[in-house]
Amino acid sequence: MMLTDIVKHLIKSDSIGVISHVVPDGDALGSSRALGLALEKMGKRVIIIKNDQTPQKYNFLPGVHLVVESDSAPFNADTLAVLDCGDIERLGSGILHFKKAGTVLNIDHHISNTMFGNLNIVDANAAATAEIIYQVIKLMGVTVDLDIATCLFTAIAADTGCFRYDSTTSVTHSIAGEMISIGVKSNSICNGIFNTRTYQQTKMLGKAIESIKLFHEGRTAVMSISKAVMHKAGCGQEDLEGIIEFARDIKGVEVAALIRETETGDIKVGLRSNEYVDTSAIAAFFSGGGHKKASGYTVNSSMEDAEFMLLEQIKKKYR
């Protein structure tokens, strides 16, 4: 599958729905908005399908006029572009649109992608799906304006920890530099994504740090957040973005985990590694997915059992 096949299909499509995963992050939102705005500039009928709440810190993203609630979206587009989404379960209520779609374009950078589309472009070397969307937009012949640049830059900055993660390549920097030339305010975007926290989020961070326990001679750090702690802090799961990094960044730690109880009582586990452990293999053991250094899964158990089972799997990864 070539990128040009996706581009050719978009060029001949009249109406396109753009969708991404639930619990959207900066890449999901920024990639969707960028593609939506570019398609609009080409004169296409385009909607961005909203299947989950947008974290407040991303409210500045342009292209909100294209966004339609998933439930109320009268979907009759000939093409559905699914972005940054490793499998269709991550579409949440948006799965209805997937079922109704004529052609599904699957554009992603998760190595675990299940290739659910009619056309699939999965580039695990891309630091963000937005890097692929950047290529798509260029190949469609659309000029990247400040609005599109803001969306692309935000997506890339969010998915690379502002150019810190080692997924960051020379391509990543090259695109970022071009976006700054176009007028993107990189500092306010990076600060908006990473530095500012509400009082509740700050308190939640404190609680999460308090919960950190070390295992395996300090190589594994586990954070645990119960539903009760979330309620008491007045936080939702969108307030936890980035919190796991405080466990990953502890000197000597190789694998960090965030074990969290959801509203329904399921346990969600996020994983991060620093150097050599492939966390996506651990996530896959529990039917989850992701990247080598960032992955996750859901289990139906107690928090204690989830921790016990996880530690067993992590232990096997140390040589």
Cα–Cα distance for residue pair 173/155, rounded to 1 Å: 13
Footprint of a copy of itself on residues 67-96 (CB under 8 A)? Answer: none
Is residue 206 within the footprint of a copy of itself (CB under 8 A)?
yes
Is residue 197 within the footprint of a copy of itself (CB under 8 A)?
yes
Question: Of the ranges 2-10, 76-84, 109-117, 213-221, which one interacts with a copy of itself (CB under 8 A)?
Answer: 213-221
Is residue 302 within the footprint of a copy of itself (CB under 8 A)?
no
Roughly how many angstroms between the first and final C-alpha of the chain, as a whole number?
Answer: 38
Q: Which of 169, 226, 298, 313 binds a copy of itself (CB under 8 A)?
A: 169
Burial letters 126-146, b for 16+ CB under 10 A, else e: bbbbbbbbbbbbeebebebee
Nearest CA-CA partner of 81 in 25, 7, 172: 7
In degrees and rounded to multiples of 5, residue 196 shows phi and psi of -80, 135
Element containing residue 79 per DSSP (H, E): strand 79-83
Cα within 13 Å of Cα(78), Cβ side: 9
Nearest approach in angstroms of CB 178 to a copy of itself is 6
Question: Of the ranges 17-25, 231-239, 243-251, 263-271, which one interacts with a copy of itself (CB under 8 A)?
Answer: 243-251
Is residue 173 within the footprint of a copy of itself (CB under 8 A)?
yes
Contact 203, 195 (CB under 8 A): no
Is residue 125 within the footprint of a copy of itself (CB under 8 A)?
no
Quick count: other Cβ atoms within 10 Å of Cβ 60? Answer: 12
Nearest approach in angstroms of CB 106 to a copy of itself is 28
Is residue 218 within the footprint of a copy of itself (CB under 8 A)?
yes
Q: Which of 138, 227, 236, 246 binds a copy of itself (CB under 8 A)?
A: 246
Residues engaged in binding a copy of itself (CB under 8 A): 162-166, 168-174, 176-178, 180-181, 185-188, 190-191, 194-199, 202-203, 205-210, 212, 214, 218, 221, 245-247, 249-252, 274
